[in-house]
Amino acid sequence: MKTPRFRPIKSPEGWRVNVPSSLSKDGKRVRRFFPTRDAADAFASQLRSQLAQHGFGAKILPPAHTDAAARAFVILGEDAAPETLLEAAREYVDRHNMRLNSIPFENAFQQFRDAQPRSPSYAESLRQYQARFIAFHGRMLCDITAKDIENAMTGFPPSVFNYSLRILSSVFNHGKKRDWCAINPIEKLDRKKLPLKEVEIYSPQEVAAFFRVADAALIPWLAVCMFAGLRASEGRKMTWGDFDFTENFIRIRSVVSKTRRPRAIPMEDNLREWLLPFRRDDSALIAPQGVSALRKQFRTAHRIGSVRRIKHGPRHSYASYLLARDGSIDKLLLNMGHTNAATTFKHYHRVASQRAARAFWSVRPLKDWAGKVVAMVAT
C-alpha cells in the first residue's frame, strides 16, 4: 500500500488535506479544509505521526474528541498510560449499564421481602425497616454507598445498628444476584460492639405465677416454650401430632424449626402434665389463636402475675435450668438446636443453681387441676 504524504493542497475552499478511508473515523475518504497553510501543515503532521505510531489501524478523531481525550489525560495525571484512559472508559460504561439495570431501593427491598415466605416476626421487622430507611426511597440501589448507610443510621443504638446491617446486607446481596448493584456496601461497615449483658431467666416463683394467671388458651404454648425450650415462632407452628405421649418426646419438624433442621426433645414430666388436659386432634395447632392474640395473652400474664418482661425468657430459662440440673452441654445443644457448644456454655453455665432448677422442674398443675392453680416445691 502506498504511504500517504498528507501534503496540503491550495483550493478555493482553503487549504485541503486528504484523509484516506483507512484512517478516517467512519471508514470513508475525507477532505479536511483549513483557513491557513500552517493549520493544514499541523494537521498533516499529526496524521503522519499517527500513521508512524499505529499504522493504518489508527483512526482520526474529530477535534472535539481529541480535546476531550487530552482533558481526560489531565484528570488521570501526567504519567497516565493510554490503557488507563481505556480502563476508565470501560469502568464508566460498566457502571452506566449497571445503573440502567438497577431499580429503586424501595422496589429492591419489597422484592426481597416477597422472594420467599418469612416468619411473622421477621416479616414485621422487614416492614418496619423498609419504612425506617425512607431516606433511600427513590434512589437507585447501585448508587447507595456505605457512607450513605452509615449517615442514615446515625444515632441508632448498637443493637439496632447491627440488626439494620444484617437486614440491609441481605437486601444488597439479593440485588447483586440480579445485577441491580455491583457490590454490597454493608461489607465496608463494621458491626458495633454490644455491652456485655448477663442472660436473664425467670425465677421458679415467677414461672409458677405465670401459669397461675395465664389464660387457659396460652398454657400449651407457654408450657412447650418454658419446659421444652422451643422458640416462640416454633411453638406457634406445633401441632398435637408432634407430641408422642407414649414414648414421651417432642418432634420438631424441619418446617417448624427456625434452622430448618429437625430435632427431637425429651418430654419432661411436668410438661406432660401441663399438656395432657389440652390435648386435641393430631392436626390441631397447640396455639390456634394466632400471633396477635397470643402476644396479648402473654403480656396480660406478665402484668397480672407481676412478672418481669424478659426477651426470650422461657427459652433462656429452660436452657439454664436444664444445664443446672443435668450438667450436660451435649444434651442442651441437641434440645436447643444449637451447634456452637462454647457459646451455649458461656451463656447458660452457672446462671441457675441446682436448688432453683429442682424448683423449676417441679412447677406442675395440682392433681385436681382446674386450669388456674399450680403447685410448686418450696425453695
pLDDT digits (tens, 9 = 90+) for 156-195: 999 999 999 999 999 999 999 999 998 999 999 999 988 7
pLDDT digits (tens, 9 = 90+) for 308-365: 999 999 999 999 999 999 999 999 999 998 888 887 887 888 889 999 999 999 999 9
Q: Are strands 364-365 and 374-375 parallel, antiparallel or unpaired?
A: antiparallel
Task: Say which residue the cell 427456625 belongs to.
Answer: 258
Q: Are 136 and 175 in contact (CB under 8 A)?
A: no
- Helix ranges (H only) for the chain are 37-54, 63-76, 82-101, 105-114, 120-132, 146-152, 158-177, 204-213, 219-228, 232-237, 269-275, 291-305, 313-326, 329-336, 341-348, 354-360
Cα gap 211→360, rounded to integer Å: 12
Tell me what the mean pLDDT of segment 114-123 comes to.
84
For residue 373, name the pLDDT band (cuts at 50, 70, 90). Answer: very low
Task: State the sign of the Cα–Cα–Cα–Cα dihedral 153, 154, 156, 161.
Answer: positive
Residue 369, pLDDT score: 46
What domains appear along the chain, each with residue ranges and CATH number? 9-60 (no CATH), 105-188 (1.10.150), 204-375 (1.10.443.10)
Q: Are 318 and 227 in contact (CB under 8 A)?
A: yes
Task: Say which residue the cell 396455639 belongs to.
Answer: 287
Give the HSE-up count for residue 278: Cα atoms under 13 Å, Cβ half-sphere. Answer: 25
Asked if pLDDT for residue 49 goes beyond 60, the answer is yes
Residue 164, pLDDT score: 95
pLDDT above 70 covers a percentage of the chain that reads 89
Residue 371, pLDDT score: 47
Tell me what the mean pLDDT of segment 48-56 comes to.
67
Cα gap 229→368, rounded to integer Å: 27
Bigger pLDDT: 374 or 130?
A: 130
Asked if pLDDT for residue 375 goes beyond 60, the answer is no
Residue 280, pLDDT score: 95
Which of the 8 DSSP states describes residue 155? T
Residue 61, pLDDT score: 58
Dihedral in degrees, nearest 10, Cα atoms 240, 295, 120, 287 = 10
Task: State the sign of the Cα–Cα–Cα–Cα dihedral 88, 89, 91, 95.
Answer: positive
Asked if pLDDT for residue 5 goes beyond 80, the answer is no
**Cell matching residue 378:** 418450696
Angle at 365 between CA 359 and CA 366, to 5 degrees: 105
Which of the 8 DSSP states describes residue 186? G
Q: Which helix (H) or strand (E) holds 16?
A: strand 14-19
Task: State the sign of the Cα–Cα–Cα–Cα dihedral 124, 256, 165, 163.
Answer: positive
Average per-residue pLDDT in the chain?
A: 87
- Order of strands, edge to edge, in the sheet holding 249-252? 243-244, 249-252, 263-266
Cα gap 300→334, rounded to integer Å: 32
pLDDT digits (tens, 9 = 90+) for 235-261: 999 999 999 999 999 999 999 998 889
Q: Are 231 and 313 in contact (CB under 8 A)?
A: no
Q: Which of 106, 109, 103 is nearest to 179 (CA)?
A: 103
**Cell matching residue 234:** 416454633
Least confident of 24-28, 97-101, 293-297: 24-28
Name the residue type at position 222. Answer: L
**Cell matching residue 175:** 440485588
Q: Are 270 and 362 in contact (CB under 8 A)?
A: yes
For residue 204, name the pLDDT band (cuts at 50, 70, 90). Answer: very high
* Whole-prediction pTM: 0.61
Residue 30: other Cβ atoms inside 10 A: 15
The residues facing 264 across adjacent strands are 251
Residue 377, pLDDT score: 45
